[in-house]
Amino acid sequence: MGLRALGALRTRRTLLCCCDDLGQSRLLGAPRCLRGPSAGGQKLLQKSRPCDLPGPTPGEPSAPGAPAAAVPAPRLSGSNHSGSPKLGTKRLPQALIVGVKKGGTRAVLEFIRVHPDVRALGTEPHFFDRNYGRGLDWYRSLMPRTLESQITLEKTPSYFVTQEAPRRIFNMSRDTKLIVVVRNPVTRAISDYTQTLSKKPDIPTFEGLSFRNRTLGVVDVSWNAIRIGMYVLHLESWLRYFPLAQIHFVSGERLITDPAGEMGRVQDFLGIKRFITDKHFYFNKTKGFPCLKKTESSLLPRCLGKSKGRTHVQIDPEVIDQLREFYRPYNIKFYETVGQDFRLLNALPTRVCLFNYRHLQTMELRLVNFRVLHGADHTAKDIQEMPSTKHINIVDTSEALRSEEPHQTPERSWNWSLSSSVVITTEAPESQSLGGSPKVTQRSGRKLLLASVISAQRKAGQPSRDNPSSKGEGRQMKSPDLLNIYNNVIIYQTSYQAVSEAPRARLLCVQSSLKERHPAFQITVQLKKKIIQKSLGTVNEQYQSISVYSDMTCSFSDSYRNSSVETEDFSPEIIFVMGLEFNFNQWQHYAHQDETTGEAQRVSLRMLQCAQLTTD
Ligand SMILES: Nc1ncnc2c1ncn2[C@@H]1O[C@H](COP(=O)(O)OS(=O)(=O)O)[C@@H](OP(=O)(O)O)[C@H]1O
């Protein structure tokens, strides 16, 4: 397209509309959308109307220079599309990000377009769903110019759920590479709803829309927000035209916890060199998401825009549980079909990780309770009646690893994913005090997992509960202090042994789930921390902050570094993280200002062992 034509198109687009997720037109000038079937309430939430030209999805502005958009795209700098528009040829895309809506498609697009061998359209052209009648020439005309060696890419998440899209794409080119970003379907639905609500505050509640009959638990699969998450059903249409090998699935969750890893696989899939690596990302704590680092070619901010990473609407936990159950069979079928387990079930913790613990040989972790609590306070009796389910052993590998040099990591923040509703206590079988804790009973309506570390054998010379004649004679595991509970976030910290005797032994458990205290997708939780002043034999309390991001990630805040806590006391010896994912490097460091000397000290955390943990 010549510049004149482009200019004409630009002028014209001010008269165009684009469809939002409610299927309603958003006017950018005179209305040009075709009228869709009239619908009220829920129906509005399901239908899309065909529009004259593609426009940005709400909150999804288009890229500068992109032909059919009125608003600049949330361009992440470092993108490679700033070259001369006259270089190269406009080609039909060889690769498409076809879904899923709210899966993380924008992040994948913005990350991959950093690659010099990829050029991407910033807007969503909606060619294979809404604009197919315009023909391939029109579609091609939208594309950025590429050199022979470059891949042209566009993303339109609604393709994944468009019946005709696979056939149409196949007809364009049977070699088209397809990328699908999948995300826990419940979270995805909430994200979808949250977006819709931001445009239409008067829509019915998520809970109301999700069910045909809530009492009977009949989910309304005709609601798009629910239907999109039934991934396997949509996938079937694609597999009629494309072999599985031609479809690459990105985990929306891992895209947040390990963007470089996910993008590495995307690059492999596209057959381009691994140009985008760890070096391109940093974790932006304010945003609560990974963002692209500054590069020589780009000095602009590189986090995604405000419409990505919205604070989700708080949903009744019981509804979330019901929807998880609803999606479970679809997820399982989906895993089976694609041959990958994306852990979309997101209901159970899967890993227990042990960090830095030097003395522990084996640890038996006994799950003493796993049940769904619906609003009822649970008592010690309830908990005791729950069956024990699993024992695991974690073998201390620290001795073998100690000689290795720590691996330097430039970033101080680290994060890991968490599943929901995990409470761990070091408290031995007498979990009554935890169960009886009024704070715990504030929790309601979530799956609650209580796990007890019931025994820990220590190496020779170390105190042991099982060997009272050792140094640890007479010591009991200290009853836990449940420190703070904010909605569904529980942070629990205690010493492994009597706190005054084992200041370095620390158990930190974090449980997080998606809840209302997520302004800008981040909450900061005050963690009450016991400070031991050994010389005085006193125990003070101090508050530390820990930031919990969304329902999936958690990271230490830098306040750790600035704390006035004794270094020794401050070094966590043992951390359990129960969750779906983690992306710790083997060593993690943070600096700590020693109060007495004022010197910065580096504290290392080493992941020693992770064990798989499942409950039935
Ligand atoms: N790096 C980074 N920055 C910001 N947001 C990120 C990132 N990686 C993934 N995500 C998640 O992407 C979710 C939006 O998904 P999409 O881009 O597919 O949405 S859309 O369908 O194009 O509207 C968005 O969903 P919400 O958090 O619900 O807003 C994010 O969770």
**Whether pLDDT at 97 is above 70:** yes
- Predicted local distance difference test score (pLDDT) of residue 180: 98
Peptide bond into 319 cis (omega under 30): no
Give the Å distance between the CA of 515 and the centre of ligand 1.
Answer: 17
Q: What is the pLDDT of residues 455-471, one digit of tens each?
A: 222 222 233 333 333 33
CB-CB neighbours of 328 under 10 Å: 14
Q: Whose CA is nearest to atom 17 of ligand 1?
A: 106
Q: Which atom of ligand 1 is nearest to the CA of 101?
A: 21
Q: Which CATH superfamily is domain 89-193+228-312+333-345 in?
A: P-loop containing nucleotide triphosphate hydrolases (3.40.50.300)
* Axis-axis angle for helices 259-270, 105-112 (nearest 10): 70
Report d(CA 385, CA 376) in Å as an integer: 16
Q: Whose CA is nearest to atom 23 of ligand 1?
A: 102
**Annotated binding-site residue? 99:** no
Give which of 117, 134, 7, 125 is closest to 62, Cα–Cα: 125
Give the Å distance between the CA of 104 and the centre of ligand 1.
Answer: 4
**Annotated binding-site residue? 500:** no
H or E element: which one contains 269? helix 259-270
Q: Which atom of ligand 1 is nearest to the CA of 187?
A: 28
**Annotated binding-site residue? 188:** no
Question: What does the DSSP assignment read for 371-404?
Answer: EE--S----HHHHHHSPP--EEE----HHHHHTS
**Annotated binding-site residue? 103:** yes
**Annotated binding-site residue? 102:** yes
Q: Grade residue 517 by pLDDT with cuts at 50, 70 and 90.
A: very low
Report d(CA 221, CA 613) in Å as an integer: 32
Identify the DSSP state of 320.
H
Return the SS3 of 442. Answer: helix
Return the SS3 of 561. Answer: coil
H or E element: which one contains 309? none
For residue 258, with 0-12 CB atoms within 10 Å meaning exposed, 13-18 middle and 19 or more buried, which class applies? buried
Q: Grade residue 298 by pLDDT with cuts at 50, 70 and 90.
A: low
List own/partner pairs for 189-194 with CB under 8 A and 24 or more apart: 189/225, 189/226, 189/228, 189/229, 189/323, 190/312, 190/313, 190/315, 190/514, 191/102, 191/310, 191/312, 192/21, 192/101, 192/102, 192/224, 192/225, 192/228, 193/225, 193/313, 194/310, 194/311, 194/312, 194/313
**Annotated binding-site residue? 506:** no
Structure tokens at 375: 């609003």
Question: What does the DSSP assignment read for 495-554?
Answer: ESS-TTT-TT-EEEEEE----S--GGGEEEEEEEEEEEETTTTEEEEEEEEEEEETTTEE
- Of 308, 314, 522, which is best to mutate to test ligand 1, by the most ligand atoms within 8 angstroms of its C-beta? 308
Lowest-confidence range among 210-219, 331-340, 394-403?
394-403
Instruction: Return the domain boundaries, the chain.
Output: 89-193+228-312+333-345
Q: Show the CA angle centred on residue 57, arms to residues 55 and 63, nearest 5°.
A: 60
User: For the chain, first and last CA: distance in Å?
Assistant: 59
Q: Whose CA is nearest to atom 19 of ligand 1?
A: 102
Q: What is the mean pLDDT of the chain?
A: 57
Give the Å distance between the CA of 106 and the centre of ligand 1.
Answer: 6
Question: What does the DSSP assignment read for 18-47?
Answer: EE-TTS-EEESSS--PPP-----HHHHTT-
Q: Which atom of ligand 1 is nearest to the CA of 256?
A: 8
Return the SS3 of 267. Answer: helix
- The whole-angstrom distance between residue 41's C-alpha and the CA centroid of its chain comes to 30
The torsion defined by the Cα of 301, 514, 547 and 605, in degrees rounded to 10, comes to -100
Report d(CA 316, CA 314) in Å as an integer: 7
Q: Whose CA is nearest to atom 31 of ligand 1?
A: 309
Give the Å distance between the CA of 103 and the centre of ligand 1.
Answer: 6
Q: Are 579 and 351 in contact (CB under 8 A)?
A: yes
- Predicted local distance difference test score (pLDDT) of residue 487: 19
Q: Whose CA is nearest to atom 7 of ligand 1?
A: 107
Residue 362 forms beta bridges with which residues?
A: 457
SS3 content of the chain, % helix, strand, coil (to 5): 25, 25, 50
**Whether pLDDT at 138 is above 60:** yes
Q: Whose CA is nearest to atom 4 of ligand 1?
A: 308
pTM listed for this prediction: 0.54
Query: In terms of DSSP H, where are the helices of 14-132?
Result: 41-44, 105-112
Catalytically active residues are: 102
H or E element: which one contains 350? none
Q: Show the CA angle centred on residue 583, arms to residues 579 and 586, nearest 5°.
A: 115
Report d(CA 335, CA 323) in Å as an integer: 18
Q: Count the alpha carbons within 13 Å of 200 in the hemisphere toward its beta carbon.
A: 21
- Predicted local distance difference test score (pLDDT) of residue 241: 97
Return the SS3 of 212. Answer: strand
Lowest-confidence range among 207-216, 236-245, 305-314, 387-396?
387-396
Q: How far apart, in Å, are the Cα atoms of 610 and each of 188, 322, 376, 578?
A: 28, 30, 33, 10
Q: Grade residue 344 by pLDDT with cuts at 50, 70 and 90.
A: low
Q: Are 141 and 67 in contact (CB under 8 A)?
A: yes
pLDDT exceeding 70 applies to what percent of the chain?
40
Which ipTM score applies to this complex? 0.99
Q: Which residue has the higher pLDDT, 136 or 302?
A: 136
Report d(CA 119, CA 122) in Å as an integer: 9
Give the Å distance between the CA of 422 and the centre of ligand 1.
Answer: 25
Give the Å distance between the CA of 256 and the centre of ligand 1.
Answer: 9
Give the Å distance between the CA of 101 and the centre of ligand 1.
Answer: 9
Average pLDDT value for residue range 399-413: 30
Q: Which atom of ligand 1 is nearest to the CA of 110?
A: 1
Q: Whose CA is nearest to atom 10 of ligand 1?
A: 104
Report d(CA 539, CA 548) in Å as an integer: 27
Query: Which residues lie with the beta carbon below 6 Å from any ligand 1 atom?
Result: 57, 60, 101-107, 157, 191, 255-256, 289-290, 304, 308-310
**Annotated binding-site residue? 126:** no
- Predicted local distance difference test score (pLDDT) of residue 568: 30
